[in-house]
Amino acid sequence: MQVFVLFSLVASTFFQIAGLVPCGYVQALLSNKSAIYFAACGLSHCWDMKTIDQVERIEWFIPWQALIQARNDINNSQCFTLIFQRSGGHGSTAATAVSNKNCSHLASTYCALAILKMVGYNLSNINPEAILKSMRKLQQHDGSFVPIHFRAETDLRFVYCAAAICSMLDNWTGMDKEKAKEYIVRCQSYDGGFGLVPDSESHGGATFCAVAALQLMGFIGEDISPNQEVIDMPLLVEWLLQSAARQSGDGGFQGRMNKPSDTCYAFWVGGVLKMLGLFEFINKDALRNFILSCQSKYGGFTKFPGMKFPDLYHSYYSFSALSLLGEPGFRSLYVELGICSDCNG
């Protein structure tokens, strides 16, 4: 199938999942705020959202808008300050969402800011200082972050979200970068990859979070050099490029040793290789063929070849990987934030 046909099929899936065609799957996804990010970001890989009619943009995206909490809530760390929810149609109203503490979350805030950048929303219209002040209270003594104010798991995903939020707001007062760096360094495993927490198994997604956060914070550069002493770079390169571990015989990437290839790791691992200037060392044709072997006749991409139904998560990351590969029609990607380069301007 030609890639331009693939565009329309995938776009169709993104549209459906974004809410234009109701179905059970859409309802399920809308309970997950990140789903809106996957839909919007996937579309933006081949469309400039800023060219969509302004009224349509507002109807589509602004309902998932940022709501600022009362100052007392911020001071008491009672609630994170950016709520990502839809005010009508699916889910709760804005008022009930504010009363539900579970609605505010580091990952949702990252997704909300990314979407607002994608559609050309002026971030000065929100209150960055309130977001950053609240977020700083989520950083733990070891440098990690909890994603919500009433405690939860801590791991590299939320360190990455915090770094991405500070980067998008161009203000790093929301975190202690040195402590965050120390936590990330502790997550590098004996084999060179990164686990989600210290002393855990290396994982493609965790490795992306570690390297992207370090780059956003300015601790490592775009090219590998002997001066990159923050982490054990030679060991990381070995983990990334060892043929038996990351790029399989089918051309796809594995997230962990001895696991099957999976389309999302085409971005997680491919993105790390891109950030470190190592993308040229992989078999790009084989990776492209693997991704295209996972396209669904219903539009979108599946996790593995041979699966019948696509899902939004793997469709978005397949799109992102095709952007990394320079597929015609795809816009270039600012890998560290997972959004189009133009959207980061």
| Residues making contact with Zn ion (CB under 5 A) | 262, 264, 303
C-beta closer to Zn ion: residue 203 or 303: 303
Instruction: Quote the least distance from Cβ 247 to Zn ion, whole Å.
Output: 15
Instruction: Quote the least distance from Cβ 240 to Zn ion, whole Å.
Output: 18
Distances in Å between the Cα of 152 and the Cα atoms of 146, 155, 171, 182, 267 are: 6, 10, 25, 20, 27
Instruction: Quote the least distance from Cβ 303 to Zn ion, whole Å.
Output: 5
- Closest residue (Cβ) to Zn ion? 264
Q: Coil, helix or strand for 334? A: strand
Q: Coil, helix or strand for 325? A: coil
Tokens linked to 157 = 């995903």
Tokens linked to 147 = 């994603």
C-beta closer to Zn ion: residue 19 or 255: 255
The answer for residues whose C-beta is within 8 angstroms of residue 321's C-beta and 6 or more apart is: 263, 266, 267, 270, 287, 291
Alpha helices in 194-337 (DSSP H): 204-217, 233-241, 263-275, 284-292, 312-324
C-beta closer to Zn ion: residue 13 or 104: 13
C-beta closer to Zn ion: residue 85 or 302: 302
Instruction: Give dist(CA 53, CA 67) in Å, integer.
Output: 24
**DSSP assignment letter at 17:** I
C-beta closer to Zn ion: residue 155 or 262: 262
Instruction: Give dist(CA 194, CA 175) in Å, integer.
Output: 21
C-beta closer to Zn ion: residue 262 or 327: 262
* Strand 339-340 with 64-65, pairing: unpaired
Instruction: Quote the least distance from Cβ 265 to Zn ion, whole Å.
Output: 6
Instruction: Quote the least distance from Cβ 264 to Zn ion, whole Å.
Output: 3
Instruction: Quote the least distance from Cβ 317 to Zn ion, whole Å.
Output: 7
